[in-house]
Amino acid sequence: MTTLRSEAQLAAARAIAARTEELFRKSGALKEGHFLLKSGKHSERYLEKFLVLQDPAATSELCGFWAARHRNPDGSPMVDLVAGPTTGGIILAFETARQLGVRSIFAEEVKAAAGTTRREFRRGFTIIPGERVLLVDDILTTGGSLLAMIPAVEALGGEIVGCAVMADRSGGLTALSSPRTGRSYPLRALWQLQLPTFDPGPESCPACKAGVPLYAPGSTGTAAQ
């Protein structure tokens, strides 16, 4: 029985991954070129998630996979709220929470005078101690955005039940460890793919060596200097 259930779960996960990839490719979100990632590394392929998130039907379908995974057999939610980091995480947290019938909040990036950054819940958002929190985000490369959210949730007494992303290009992280407590939280992706990243410079990055112009995607959408 256990083996049959495991096989069914694997088949369902493969179907979800295939559908997620289909939606990304259909929207033109998988791009090729020479890209500067938020982590500072370079890549020859980039996932422009907002080409998917601009489509309400596609976004709703993807968030529906998370919502279904976090419902009890009687249909009640397994979580009390869904949280995401700015910017794409706002959309994903809202839609997942809407389908589950729970609250949605988001954490913003705050820069200290020393130049360090952290994630913080502002705008009156709060977490009641003991509330079960699902963290969601769009694309995982190094996990930095979710890792920065974990201490913000822990500091308010929230119980993180898991971390979920649309696409994992990290190579397959299975957990995120809190920089505050060292506690590990499970990580699940709808779609895992291998997109190599490189340190800047011709010694490491093939596109740098070939002289391909560097593009900084995201809110600026401009060639990097």
- Whether residue 32 lies inside any domain: the answer is no
Q: Is the pLDDT of residue 65 over 70?
A: yes
- Whether residue 209 lies inside any domain: the answer is no
- Whether residue 203 lies inside any domain: the answer is no
Peptide bond into 59 cis (omega under 30): no
Q: Is the pLDDT of residue 8 over 80?
A: yes
Instruction: Give the model's confidence band at 225: pLDDT under 50 very low, under 70 low, under 90 confident, else very high.
Output: very low
Contact indicator for 66, 98 with CB cutoff of 8 Å: no
Residue 221's pLDDT is what?
54
Which spans in the chain are helix H? 2-27, 50-53, 56-69, 88-100, 144-155, 206-210
Q: Is the pLDDT of residue 224 over 60?
A: no
Rounded to an integer, the average pLDDT of 43-52 is 94
What's this model's pTM, rounded to 2 decimal places? 0.88
- Strand ranges of the sheet holding 215-216, from the earlier edge strand across to the other edge: 197-198, 42-47, 30-36, 215-216, 222-223
The tens digit of pLDDT for each residue in 159-210 reads 999 999 999 988 777 789 998 899 999 999 999 998 889 999 999 999 999 9
- Whether residue 200 lies inside any domain: the answer is no
Contact indicator for 150, 107 with CB cutoff of 8 Å: no
Q: Is the pLDDT of residue 220 over 90?
A: no
- Whether residue 144 lies inside any domain: the answer is yes
Residue 127's pLDDT is what?
97
Q: Is the pLDDT of residue 222 over 80?
A: no
In the chain, how many domains are there?
1
- Name the least confident of 24-33, 61-70, 170-179, 215-224: 215-224
Among 138, 145, 136, CA closest to 27: 138
Domain ranges, residue 75: 2-27+50-195
CATH label of the domain that carries residue 78: 3.40.50.2020
Instruction: Give the model's confidence band at 2: pLDDT under 50 very low, under 70 low, under 90 confident, else very high.
Output: low
Instruction: Give the model's confidence band at 19: pLDDT under 50 very low, under 70 low, under 90 confident, else very high.
Output: very high
The tens digit of pLDDT for each residue in 88-123 reads 999 999 999 999 999 999 999 999 888 889 999 999
Q: Is the pLDDT of residue 71 over 90?
A: yes
Backbone angles phi, psi at 34, to 5 degrees: -140, 105
Q: Is the pLDDT of residue 55 over 50?
A: yes
- Whether residue 190 lies inside any domain: the answer is yes
- Whether residue 188 lies inside any domain: the answer is yes
- Whether residue 210 lies inside any domain: the answer is no
Q: Look over the chain and give the mean of its residue pLDDT values, rounded to a whole number.
A: 92
Residue 4's pLDDT is what?
57
